[in-house]
Structure 1
Amino acid sequence: MNATLRPSTPADLETHVAHRLAMFRTMKVGTEEGLSRMAEAFRPQLRTWLHTGQCRGFIVEEDGRAVASVLLLMRDAIPTPVTPLSVRGYLFNIYTEPTHRRRGLAARLTDAVLELARELGLEILEVHASLEAEGLYQRLGFMPTSEMRLVMSAGIKTPKQWKHRHQP
């Protein structure tokens, strides 16, 4: 495999949108209608973030084709006694095409993001991992937290991954 890692650019917008759609389809989260609505809302948001630098990412290419990607969003946070910094990193959109899984690409992408986060001076990184990927992130030093979520709208179906984590 001749896979190369490179930083994302705004020209990679559609790759990241496609990978986001594929990620949620793989996890069986949402309907096609919901995925379409998500993509249409996500596209302009990500375009802005990529242009301003609030979001950075990496892509793994093989023979000039994107086969895996990740994004790192710098988002505002409330200072705490743990750290007075008000910016945290949020890893998301971590996706590897099924034909390229189990080759260490997600770990390679995450390592690149961790190095970038260090360069940016971020002290805390967060990720909402799929059940399948939890072990990878724990091996890289991530730990489960006490985050909980209340879904306020009756029309929102709770993904099975949330149920798994919160059942007694």
Structure 2
Amino acid sequence: MGIEYRRLSKEYLETFIQMRITQLREEGAKEEIDLAPALRDYYDRHMADGTFVSWLAFDGEKIIGTSGMSFVEKPPYFGCPSGKLGLLSSMYTDPEYRRRGIAKELLDRVVKEARNYGCGTVQITASDMGVKLYAAYGFIHNGNFMQYKL
């Protein structure tokens, strides 16, 4: 049996949240807070209004890959006349299943969702591991990205 792809639905949300936390830890997060309630609240609200979509990869009934795309809107600008942006997150593949094209398939699916939503661009803060995938897909570095923590 091959890998199957399904959209995230409520029945998979708790597993999705745990995988997101695993991903953040794997990427070096050290904070000792319970992030699950905030993630649950975010996904409940944004799945309901259509501003968050996710595709999952399954081997049987086991989720082995995740993706996520949040849709936000900024004032239109020349690089993105619609003002609609896709923020890519939650790109994670179980270590046993890496290097098989699963992440690329998941990326394809959420980028298509962003295009259908009317987004003019997709952004991600890539992990070291993800940079190759995104560069091969056609993402380019934006050296002007800065962040101010509140």
Out of 102, 106, 120, the position equivalent to 2:103 is 106
Out of 89, 94, 99, the position equivalent to 1:92 is 89
Q: Quick one: distance in 2 between partners of 1:84 and 1:118? A: 13
User: How far did 1:87 drift?
Assistant: 1.6
Which residue in 1 is equivalent to 2:47?
50
Which residue in 1 is equivalent to 2:72?
75
Which residue in 1 is equivalent to 2:128?
131
User: How far did 1:121 drift?
Assistant: 2.3
TM-score, normalised via structure 2 length: 0.91
Out of 102, 115, 118, the position equivalent to 1:118 is 115
* Cα deviation digits, residues 47-69 of structure 1 (max 9, x gap): 11112211011000001111101
Is 1:69–1:96's contact at 8 Å kept on the other side of the alignment?
Answer: yes
Is 2:82–2:118's contact at 8 Å kept on the other side of the alignment?
Answer: no
CA RMSD in angstroms comes to 1.5
Gaps of 5+ in 2: none
TM-score, normalised via structure 1 length: 0.82
User: How far did 1:142 drift?
Assistant: 0.6
What's the % identity of the aligned pairs?
25
Is 1:10–1:50's contact at 8 Å kept on the other side of the alignment?
Answer: no
How many residue pairs match? The answer is 149
- CA, structure 1 residues 10+51, in 2 after alignment: closer, same or farther (shift >3 Å)? farther
SS in 2 for 1:132: coil
Which residue in 2 is equivalent to 1:8?
8
User: How far did 1:83 drift?
Assistant: 2.5
Which residue in 2 is equivalent to 1:25?
25
Is 1:140 the counterpart of 2:129? The answer is no
Which residue in 1 is equivalent to 2:58?
61
Which residue in 2 is equivalent to 1:149?
147
Moved over 6 A (4+): none
Counterpart residue identity of residue 130, structure 1: S
Gaps of 5+ in 1: 153-168
